[in-house]
A = this chain, B = another copy of it.
Amino acid sequence: MTKTILDRLEAQGLRMTDQRRTIAQVIEQASDHPDVEELHARANALDARISLATVYRTVKLLEEMGILDRLEFGDGRARFEDSQRDHHDHLIDMDTGEVIEFCDPEIEALQEKIARRLGYHLQGHRLELLGRKIKG
């Protein structure tokens, strides 16, 4: 079992504020890919005292701690997801913008193999497919 985000913040000597508690909760409950504005909206629904700047700061902090993954789907803003979720990749529907998650062990293994072939230890990876729905 993994430690909560809050435990990990405390372990680093960082202070437990209501803002961080709330933002952490929002992130842990999210199963999608919210951007900062969306995180701010969700956090504010729980506690109106949370500023956008604090969300930016917290998200940056969590990313540096490896708790959050930052994603960019090409629309200029960063999106986030809990890095403890099982690894998965994304397929983006070019017509609707919908993001479909998928995971394929074969492709994961292949990525490892390729990195090794190039003389690298794989530390992270991101695969994004762009597609259009097959009709019929």
Contact residues of A with B, CB < 8 Å?
A: 70, 72, 74, 91, 93-94, 100, 102, 104, 106-107, 110-111, 114-116, 118-134
Contact = CB atoms under 8 A, between A and B. Distances in A.
Nearest to A122: B131
Q: How many copies does the complex hold?
A: 2
Given A107-B114, A110-B104, A115-B91, A131 B127 contact: no
A110 B111 contact: no
A83 to B, nearest CB: 13
A75 to B, nearest CB: 10
Contacts of A110: 104, 106-107, 110
B134 A129 contact: no
